[in-house]
């Protein structure tokens, strides 16, 4: 039944037509088409998908207008809610600069001049919460962060009306989360309390106000932005359901016969649910052909044998040793003969009435399949080659000679899909309804291709292997007709959202056309290095849309795309530079990151700092407990990380640049950094040491901040530590601004205990920190003898293979002092300067040997290289850094954040 457009709809159609005209104009402009990350597709395909102004299947040229409207609405809303005007809050204010200034316990930050309106501490919580939600499950994607998890972040960092940005938005969960921050039920479901007048509280602690936040969502892949648009745009659900049901009825009538099978009673017709297909393989010993299912699967006992025996010669076979048998068929879509791996149907699951049955395919079933293979598909379907260079093509598809997207489906599923797609295109409904129908269609695709697997061990079928294009020995054809209904049910559970978020398709390396300093908060979940090639995985879905991802800017490490870790780092850095540009000063970005390698993690850290961000907190997630832990020089391989980074306030950046390379600049940095850090972190009643407040991390952050801005570091470590004590208040080995102390002291009195940080001791630097923790009463340690320390040290140590680690006694002598009873203790800051000088001299002597030598250094003292690099940086002798870096093993350089930072920046200066 056709939609009868309401007056509102007609107005919307007219508005869309006007914007489409404007978009068409942009598409004719070669400069517009030259924007980085511009998808591959002709004008018609891009226009057909787009729903301007809010969504375009290319960079969105209407963002400036949308943002301007949102900013006006935001200002009005803030006034209405009694929130202070923060339009000029770009942070020209100063943080108190001495511990002797009187703190004001009433305000979170005491400022002498205009205090910043906005202040939030870094925040981290579980990012996997809410995976059972209908919105989360409506459309699958290769990795997703559930919107419920993102909501907690948005509630923490923003107020109603704020604009949130996600530059790697995938399916747009960040936008859904932003919307639902205005939904009382959704907020309460997370365990927050919402008062009558809309104040959201976590326990007794007020968090923010109830209210919708706006989101700008960007992704390189057209399929991702298309899903994001559909989950973030109001729709007429009744019209959608009506049209979908109508289409289902039509295709059922037309194609129902393709999914019929004869019941074992020999007369009743059953409806197919799924068919298991097995590869046909050949024995390498006697060349006998066999159906893998028959040779290797014991259905009754739910076993798959590997190895299994050749039924002819009895030789032991494995999936590695057998050969795939191929056959030549006539490809009706390509209208030419084609070779493909031979598969045969081996089991059919069907129902008669409400009862389910399984059977072996009979002659009629086989004849039907032959008939379908020979039958041309009259409706349009993509006849598109899968790029041969793609990693997944090379990994698996080429083995089966599956060269085109249409090869991924059985002929009957392809016939039904093509018919549904054609009916969607011709449906007499609004563009919005048509788009939702297309999203329902693309949501079907991942369960209707050969990538779905059958598991005899579990006596059922499971979905595709996530994150690859792998076809197993036993694949499953799920009935497209059945699945249409089942997916419709999951879409029916979607509640249409009440307002529109803005969606753009392009690269985060060029956030077109968002003005600078406008975004209130950023949440991103970028690709993590080598893991997934989104564009390659999305290609088969995008072939239906007719608009494809441009891969040049895709932030991945990829052999097929010719991108190294360094290329990935550069793309991430350029994305961070753009995010830094659009983010308001003093505001936060959360980077959710699943780490697979230390080197990738270091690339991200380096890219963040180079873009101008300062890392305020890094946490690892303990998914089992749903808790987070601080990351502190730990081995982070294979953990989920939440990185909180902020853009320094612009007043501060200006002052720093004036004072860069001076002690004043250093202390200015420390002051503003301390102001951003959490004052207390509590977990299970215990107060945690905030790693970022410890002198070593403060020193590291300070050094990184200088180096990324090309400044020399004016203070040695000893001078820095001594200066810290003079200027800031110390508690439990951490440093605080004067006005932060009362809150910490209060929390300390209430806390059951202070939880120490677990250190991962792998080299000289972490050994010294560990020793300090053991010996310093300020961090819960005490003076100890060598005999006390040595056994504990050996237990802690995980020494890297390349590391030349001095003896424990030597490290004690170089960094600590001994009392008359032979106990080592942490020297008074005034004395540690002399010790440091001595140690530095020794380290530089060692470094000089690395400078003079040639060839690869297999084992070396990393601390000597760090000290040598710092010294060379100070003298602006970048060539030495590059030379010694060239002698280090590549892996060590990539995995050590300090070395990488000096090396990258030295290369940059030399260039």
HSE at residue 637, side-chain half, CA atoms within 13 A, is 4
Residue 679, judged by CB atoms within 10 A of its CB (0-12, 13-18, 19+), counts as: buried
Segment near ligand SAM (CB under 6 A), from 40-48, 87-95, 163-171, 799-807?
A: 163-171
Backbone angles phi, psi at 344, to 5 degrees: -130, 145
Best CA proximity match to 582, nearest among 167, 224, 214, 118 = 167
The single residue among 27, 49, 58, 145 that binds ligand SAM, judged by CB under 6 A, is 145
Tokens 């994305």, located at residue: 575
Q: How far is the CB of 398 from ligand SAM (least distance, A)?
A: 24
The single residue among 508, 547, 557, 893 that binds ligand SAM, judged by CB under 6 A, is 508
Segment near ligand SAM (CB under 6 A), from 166-174, 190-198, 581-589, 633-641?
A: 166-174
The single residue among 59, 116, 167, 868 that binds ligand SAM, judged by CB under 6 A, is 167
Q: Which residues contact 891 (CB under 8 A, 6 or more apart)?
A: 599
**Closer residue to ligand SAM (CB): 218 or 698:** 218
Q: Is 481 in the site for ligand SAM (CB under 6 A)?
A: no
Q: How far is the CB of 531 from ligand SAM (least distance, A)?
A: 9
The single residue among 170, 361, 616, 806 that binds ligand SAM, judged by CB under 6 A, is 170
Tokens 């001594």, located at residue: 722
Q: How far is the CB of 390 from ligand SAM (least distance, A)?
A: 15
**Closer residue to ligand SAM (CB): 570 or 671:** 570
Q: Is 171 in the site for ligand SAM (CB under 6 A)?
A: yes
686 beta partners: 683, 753
Backbone angles phi, psi at 754, to 5 degrees: -105, 120
Segment near ligand SAM (CB under 6 A), from 19-27, 140-148, 445-453, 802-810?
A: 140-148
Segment near ligand SAM (CB under 6 A), from 168-176, 423-431, 846-854, 878-886?
A: 168-176
Burial 157-192 (b: 16+ CB within 10 A, else e): bbbbbbbbbbbbbbbbbbbbbbbbbbbeebbeebeb
- The DSSP symbol for 235 reads -
Q: Is 178 in the site for ligand SAM (CB under 6 A)?
A: no
Burial 73-112 (b: 16+ CB within 10 A, else e): ebeebbeeeebeebeebbbbbbbbeebeeebeeeebbbbe
Helix (H), strand (E) at residue 206: strand 205-209
Identify whether the C-beta of residue 52 lies closer than 8 Å to the C-beta of residue 19. Answer: yes
Backbone angles phi, psi at 428, to 5 degrees: -95, 85
- Which positions from 515 through 544 interact with ligand SAM, judged by CB under 6 A? 525-527, 534
Q: How far is the CB of 71 from ligand SAM (least distance, A)?
A: 24
Segment near ligand SAM (CB under 6 A), from 184-192, 194-202, 216-224, 398-406?
A: 216-224
**Residues touching ligand SAM, count (CB under 6 A):** 27
Q: Is 501 in the site for ligand SAM (CB under 6 A)?
A: no
> Which tokens in the block code for residue 68?
């301007």
Segment near ligand SAM (CB under 6 A), from 219-227, 261-269, 787-795, 893-901?
A: 219-227
Q: Is 144 in the site for ligand SAM (CB under 6 A)?
A: yes
The single residue among 403, 452, 507, 629 that binds ligand SAM, judged by CB under 6 A, is 507
**Closer residue to ligand SAM (CB): 162 or 166:** 166
Q: How far is the CB of 618 from ligand SAM (least distance, A)?
A: 18
**Closer residue to ligand SAM (CB): 501 or 575:** 575
Identify whether the C-beta of residue 234 lies closer than 8 Å to the C-beta of residue 499. Answer: yes
Q: Is 186 in the site for ligand SAM (CB under 6 A)?
A: no
Residue 505, judged by CB atoms within 10 A of its CB (0-12, 13-18, 19+), counts as: buried
Q: How far is the CB of 192 from ligand SAM (least distance, A)?
A: 22
Segment near ligand SAM (CB under 6 A), from 138-146, 203-211, 358-366, 878-886?
A: 138-146
**Closer residue to ligand SAM (CB): 168 or 669:** 168
d(CA 904, CA 899): 8
The alpha helices in 474-558, defined as continuous H runs, are 480-492, 534-545
- Which positions from 224 through 263 interact with ligand SAM, judged by CB under 6 A? 224
**Closer residue to ligand SAM (CB): 555 or 687:** 555
Q: Is 173 in the site for ligand SAM (CB under 6 A)?
A: yes
Q: SS3 string of 534-589?
A: HHHHHHHHHHHHCCECCCCCCCCCECCCCECHHHHHHHHHHHHHHHHHHECCCCEE
- Determine the residue with CB nearest ligand SAM: 170
- Which positions from 544 through 583 interact with ligand SAM, judged by CB under 6 A? 553-555, 571, 575
**Closer residue to ligand SAM (CB): 293 or 528:** 528
Q: Is 221 in the site for ligand SAM (CB under 6 A)?
A: yes
The single residue among 509, 590, 620, 815 that binds ligand SAM, judged by CB under 6 A, is 509
Q: SS3 string of 105-148?
A: CCCCCCCCCCCCCCCCCCCCCCCCCCCCCHHHHHCCCCCCCCHH
Segment near ligand SAM (CB under 6 A), from 59-67, 162-170, 397-405, 464-472?
A: 162-170
Local structure of 377: helix, strand or coil: coil
Q: How far is the CB of 22 from ligand SAM (least distance, A)?
A: 24
| Contact set with ligand SAM (CB under 6 A) | 37, 141, 143-145, 167-168, 170-171, 173, 218-221, 224, 507-509, 525-527, 534, 553-555, 571, 575
């Amino acid at each position: 039944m056709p939609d009868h457009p309401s007056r509102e709809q007609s107005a919307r159609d007219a508005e869309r037509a006007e914007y489409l005209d404007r978009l068409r104009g942009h598409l004719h402009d070669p400069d517009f088409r030259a924007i980085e990350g511009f998808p591959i597709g002709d004008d018609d395909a891009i226009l057909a998908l787009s729903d301007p102004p809010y969504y375009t299947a290319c960079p969105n040229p209407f963002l400036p207008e949308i943002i301007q409207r949102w900013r006006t609405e935001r200002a009005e809303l803030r006034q209405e809610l009694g929130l202070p005007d923060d339009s000029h809050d770009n942070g020209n204010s100063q943080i108190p600069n001495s511990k002797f200034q009187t703190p004001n316990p009433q305000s979170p930050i005491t400022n002498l001049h205009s205090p910043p309106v906005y202040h939030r501490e870094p925040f981290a919580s579980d990012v996997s919460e809410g995976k059972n939600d209908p919105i989360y499950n409506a459309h699958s994607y290769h990795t997703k962060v559930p919107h419920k998890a993102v909501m907690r972040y948005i509630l923490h960092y923003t107020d109603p009306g704020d604009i949130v940005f996600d530059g790697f938005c995938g399916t747009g969960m960040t936008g859904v989360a932003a919307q639902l921050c205005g939904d009382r039920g959704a907020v309460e479901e997370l365990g927050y309390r919402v008062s009558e007048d809309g104040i959201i509280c976590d326990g007794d602690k007020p968090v923010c106000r109830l209210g919708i936040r706006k989101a700008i969502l960007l992704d390189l892949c057209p399929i991702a932005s298309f899903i994001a648009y559909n989950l973030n745009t109001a729709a007429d659900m009744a019209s959608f359901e009506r049209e979908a049901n109508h289409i289902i009825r039509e295709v059922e009538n037309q194609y129902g016969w393709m999914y019929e099978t004869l019941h074992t009673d020999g007369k009743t017709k059953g409806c197919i649910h799924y068919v298991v297909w097995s590869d046909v393989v050949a024995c390498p010993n006697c060349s006998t052909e066999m159906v893998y299912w028959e040779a290797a699967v014991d259905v009754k006992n739910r076993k798959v044998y590997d190895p299994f025996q050749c039924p002819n010669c009895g030789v032991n076979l494995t999936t590695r040793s057998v050969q795939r048998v191929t056959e030549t068929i006539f490809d009706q879509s390509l209208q030419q003969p084609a070779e493909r791996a031979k598969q045969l149907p081996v089991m059919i699951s069907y129902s008669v009435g409400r009862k389910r049955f399984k059977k072996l395919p009979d002659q009629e079933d086989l004849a039907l399949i032959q008939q379908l293979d020979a039958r041309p598909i009259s409706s349009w379907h993509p006849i598109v080659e899968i790029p041969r260079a793609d990693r997944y093509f090379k990994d698996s598809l080429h083995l089966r000679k599956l060269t085109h997207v249409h090869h991924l489906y059985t002929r009957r599923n392809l016939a039904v899909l093509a018919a549904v797609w054609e009916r969607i295109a011709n449906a007499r409904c609004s563009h919005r309804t048509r788009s939702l129908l297309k999203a329902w269609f693309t949501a079907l695709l991942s369960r209707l291709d050969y990538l779905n697997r059958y598991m005899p061990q579990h006596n059922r079928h499971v979905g595709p292997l996530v994150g690859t294009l792998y076809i197993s020995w036993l694949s499953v054809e799920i009935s497209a007709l059945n699945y249409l209904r089942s997916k419709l049910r999951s879409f029916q559970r979607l509640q249409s959202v009440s307002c529109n978020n803005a969606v753009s398709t392009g690269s985060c390396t060029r956030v077109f056309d968002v003005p600078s300093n406008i975004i209130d908060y950023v949440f991103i979940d970028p690709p993590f290095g080598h893991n997934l090639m989104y564009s390659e995985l999305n290609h088969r879905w995008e072939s239906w849309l007719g608009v494809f991802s441009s891969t040049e800017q895709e932030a991945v490490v990829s052999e097929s795309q010719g991108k190294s870790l360094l290329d990935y780092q550069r793309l991430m850095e350029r994305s961070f530079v753009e995010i830094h540009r659009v983010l308001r000063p003093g505001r936060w970005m959360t980077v959710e990151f699943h780490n697979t390698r230390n080197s990738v993690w270091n690339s991200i850290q380096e890219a963040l700092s180079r873009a101008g961000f300062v890392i305020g907190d890094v946490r690892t997630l303990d998914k089992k407990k749903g808790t987070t832990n601080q990351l502190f020089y730990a081995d982070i391989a294979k953990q989920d990380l939440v990185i909180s980074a902020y853009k320094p306030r612009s007043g501060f950046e200006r002052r720093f640049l004036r004072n860069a390379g001076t002690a004043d600049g250093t202390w200015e940095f420390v002051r503003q950094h301390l102001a951003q850090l959490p004052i207390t972190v509590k977990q299970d009643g215990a107060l945690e040491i905030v790693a970022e407040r410890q002198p070593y991390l403060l020193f590291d952050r300070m050094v990184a901040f200088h180096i990324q801005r090309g400044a020399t570091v004016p203070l040695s470590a000893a001078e820095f530590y001594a200066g810290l004590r003079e200027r800031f208040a110390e508690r439990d080995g951490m440093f605080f601004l004067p006005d932060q102390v009362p809150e910490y002291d209060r929390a300390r009195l209430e806390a059951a205990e202070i939880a120490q940080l677990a250190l991962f001791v792998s080299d000289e630097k972490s050994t010294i920190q560990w020793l300090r923790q053991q010996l310093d009463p300020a961090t819960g340690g005490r003076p100890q003898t060598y005999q006390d320390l040595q056994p504990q040290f050996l237990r802690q140590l995980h020494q890297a293979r390349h590391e030349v680690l001095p003896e424990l006694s030597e490290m004690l002598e170089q960094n600590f002092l001994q009392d008359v009873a032979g106990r080592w203790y942490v020297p008074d800051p005034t004395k540690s300067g002399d010790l440091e000088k001595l140690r530095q001299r020794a380290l530089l002597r060692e470094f000089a040997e690395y400078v003079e030598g040639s060839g690869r250094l297999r084992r070396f003292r990393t601390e000597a290289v760090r000290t040598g690099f710092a010294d060379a940086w100070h003298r602006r002798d970048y060539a030495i850094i590059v030379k010694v870096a060239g002698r280090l093993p590549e892996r060590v350089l990539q995995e050590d954040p300090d070395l990488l930072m000096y090396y990258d920046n030295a290369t940059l200066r030399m260039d």
